[in-house]
């Protein structure tokens, strides 16, 4: 397990975040990388950290981690991006640095949390009625959301239905329903945990 970064208590939040980024970049341990990325994703939840995370290029670190083979790193990276993208500056950075295809690729993850964060991130990045980034509502994405809207997983089903209703036009959804030769068929539904019995 990774140890807490050695940080002078007087350096404050920026210094602590810098120590986390440095540890992530320097460690060879996958467990340490996972723990550090989880911590950074949690810090991304707090808007008071946004400026520091941009300054330390944590958005790029998260985007780069989406291409990792380690599913846990991908899960934490997309979770961090999901936490960051409600902020306009963070959203623009993700959109301008080619993050959309990386995020869309997360829809095919076997990890349920990764898929849920990817759907939510796509929703945050989309502007209802805006055609500024049509790849967010491209036909394979809409078809994937149609499949997810039939999922046994309530959270995934509800997110997909919201996406289809709020971010897609009725004609896009109708076209996706009738389009036979689409790539979304190859996207498996994520593994779901068995429901806990009360």
Task: Give this prediction's pTM.
Answer: 0.84
CATH number at residue 63: 1.25.10.10
4 lies in a domain? no
Give residue 22's domain range.
10-126
Beta carbons within 10 angstroms of residue 99's beta carbon: 21
Consecutive 10-residue runs of the chain (198 residues): their mean pLDDT?
Answer: 52 91 96 97 95 97 97 98 94 93 96 97 77 84 94 95 93 85 51 51
What's the pLDDT at 178? 86
- Provide the 8-state DSSP code for 131: -
Say whether both 37 and 103 belong to one domain: yes
Residue 155 lies in a domain: yes
């Amino acid at each position: 397990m990774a140890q807490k970064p050695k940080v002078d208590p007087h350096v404050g939040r920026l210094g602590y975040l810098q120590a986390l980024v440095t540890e992530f970049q320097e460690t060879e341990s996958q467990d340490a990388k996972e723990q550090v990325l989880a911590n950074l994703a949690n810090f991304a939840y707090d808007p008071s950290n946004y400026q520091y995370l941009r300054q330390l290029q944590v958005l790029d670190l998260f985007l780069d981690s989406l291409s990792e083979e380690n599913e846990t790193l991908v899960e934490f990276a997309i979770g961090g991006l999901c936490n960051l993208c409600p902020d306009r500056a963070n959203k623009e950075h993700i959109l301008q640095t080619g993050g959309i295809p990386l995020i869309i690729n997360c829809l095919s993850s076997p990890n349920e949390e990764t898929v849920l964060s990817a759907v939510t991130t796509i929703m945050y990045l989309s502007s209802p009625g805006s055609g500024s980034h049509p790849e967010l509502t491209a036909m394979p994405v809409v078809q994937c959301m149609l499949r997810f809207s039939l999922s046994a997983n309530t959270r995934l089903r509800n997110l997909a239905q919201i996406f289809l209703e709020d971010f897609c036009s009725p004609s896009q959804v109708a076209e996706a329903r009738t389009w036979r030769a689409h790539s979304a068929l190859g996207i498996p539904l994520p593994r779901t945990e068995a429901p806990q019995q009360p």
